[in-house]
A = this chain, B = another copy of it.
Amino acid sequence: MAENEDKKIFTRGNEALAMAAIEAGCRYYFGYPITPQGEIPEYLSRELPKVGGRFLQAESEIASINMLLGAGALGARVMTSSSGPGISLMQEGISYMAGSEIPGLIVNVSRCGPGLGGIAPSQGDYFQATRGGGHGDYRTPVLAPGSPQEMYDLAFLAFDLAFKYRTPVMILADAVIGQMKEQVVRREPLPPAPLPEWALTGADGRASRLLKSLFLAEGELEKQTLKQLDKYHEIERREPRWEEFMTEDADFIVIAFGIIARIAKSSIRMARKQGIKAGLLRPITLYPFPVEPIQKLSARVKKILVVELNTGQMVDDVRLSARPGTGIELYFRSPGAGSLPSLEEIAGEMERRFR
């Protein structure tokens, strides 16, 4: 498409992400079809071969994540994408990647569950994404885009983090952010990254290398996990990202992410017109969670309203972050066709609770 050559394009969130992945140096994609992320493989199957990359439709999500593990072990920038059920199937592989310190990007364009559920947007995979749905003590950075522009931008960030910390990184989007089109401003593609010094390439002129997650000897696994824990602590210190909107003078704060945060912004504008001094804090990184700004705001504001498109998951992190005694309320819509709240609905909740 001609429009792709411009720096300003009008495009779907899923396509923006796929485009950015290539520009961030991703050359390998392994994935299995699922709605609502279909445009990502569709775009990459067309575009990757043009830049010398490889696209492979894997036979399953389990194969996908393990191909990611194999390709990632060579230091390649590699990604997969899926949704709900597919992401569940990847949990063992993600745990292995985390345990073996192999980077890679996993995109979850979230749909509603549990089970087959439906294909409407959802934030019901928050726990899975932020708590490590797989076994063992690990975390993966989780980035939550709020627009096609951020689908684009966060793909760059995701690869940065993945290689900086040698970890799988998840982008947790939702069906609306993935499917909607909006204007996206592109940046310069990244130059090729140097091969990391741990990458497997064949033991040519050096000792052989090994990437593994099995640590059987006494004390070995504990040491390894504590090393990783240091890494997670560093991530928690250095990498939280969030957006604040009209918080400077706010008496009330809404906390929401992804599509809900977008809608809530409009609600806040509406509420402000009605004289409610509300603001929004939008976590961009769900892990690391933006603890500090919430702590700060919670010391000042009268009430916090958490709005989620699930039955209440992020609210736990807000409670764990806010100062003791902060009034924290939850408004949720359980995801499903037709349950995305409107701006008026959220504004109504603000009215009810902040008045």
Decide if A2 is an interface residue (CB 8 Å cutoff).
Answer: no
> Chain B contacts of A311 at CB under 8 A?
137, 225, 229
CA distance A127 to B224 in the complex (A): 20
Interface residues in A212-253 by Cβ distance below 8 A to B read: 212-226, 229
Helix, strand, loop or mixed for chain A's interface? loop
Known: A88-B95, A117-B221, A131-B313. 18 other contacts (CB 8 A): A62-B89, A88-B92, A91-B133, A98-B114, A113-B136, A113-B138, A114-B135, A116-B214, A117-B215, A118-B214, A118-B215, A118-B216, A118-B221, A122-B136, A128-B132, A221-B335, A223-B336, A229-B334
Q: How far is the CA of A226 from the CA of B332 in the complex (A)?
A: 11
Is A64's CB within 8 Å of the partner chain B?
Answer: no
A84 within 8 A of B: yes
Q: How far is the CB of A345 from chain B (nearest CB, A)?
A: 13
Report the Cα distance A125→B91, complex, angstroms: 12
Interface residues on A, range: 35 or more
- A300 within 8 A of partner (CB): no
CB distance from A196 to the nearest CB of B (A): 19
A87 touches B215 (CB 8 A): no
Asked whether A137 and B310 contact (CB < 8 A) given A92-B89, A127-B132, A316-B316, the answer is yes
Minimum CB–CB distance for A134 against chain B, Å: 4
A141 at the A/B interface (Cβ < 8 Å)? no
- Is residue A96 within 8 Å, beta carbon to beta carbon, of the partner chain? yes
Cα A88 to Cα B66 with chains together (Å): 14
Flag if A99 contacts B128 (CB, 8 Å). no
